[in-house]
Amino acid sequence: GAVVSQHPSWVICKSGTSVKIECRSLDFQATTMFWYRQFPKQSLMLMATSNEGSKATYEQGVEKDKFLINHASLTLSTLTVTSAHPEDSSFYICSAEGEKYNEQFFGPGTRLTVL
């Protein structure tokens, strides 16, 4: 199967700062990337869907000005958590889908802790 990476794998930041998380498809071109958030012992909740070269589509209740998503190339999408607060602490997971495959491939996740 295809490989999706995320960087960093974990990050600790101070309240009020911004954090950028990268999601890369390593061996295929990802026409669509998805960003999920997972709180402890809970399921994954889709935050937004991004297509290369166009604006992301956010799910209801997700603030687009707070969670900035950029999908500038077919192998890279970034999620920036702006002015992070402790309640933004969570596990952020991306997935990627391409024309070559008929399924989403998930990254290993990024653990964000906001102090």
Kindly state whether residue 111 participates in binding other proteins, applying the rule CB under 8 A: yes
Give the whole-angstrom CA distance, residue 41 versus residue 50.
Answer: 26
Q: According to CB under 8 A, which one of 33, 47, 58, 97 is a site residue for other proteins?
A: 97
Q: According to CB under 8 A, which one of 50, 90, 105, 112 is a site residue for other proteins?
A: 105
Hey, what are 25's tokens?
Answer: 């498809």
Sign of CA dihedral 41, 111, 25, 60: positive
Kindly state whether residue 103 participates in binding other proteins, applying the rule CB under 8 A: yes
Q: According to CB under 8 A, which one of 46, 62, 74, 76 is a site residue for other proteins?
A: 46
Hey, what are 95's tokens?
Answer: 């997935």
Please choose, out of 13-21, 62-70, 77-85, 91-99, the segment that lies near other proteins by the rule CB under 8 A.
91-99
Strands 57-58 and 90-97: unpaired
Give the whole-angstrom CA distance, residue 29 versus residue 99.
Answer: 8
Kindly state whether residue 41 participates in binding other proteins, applying the rule CB under 8 A: yes
- Binding site residues, other proteins, CB under 8 A: 1, 6, 32, 34, 41-46, 49, 91, 93, 95, 97, 103-109, 111
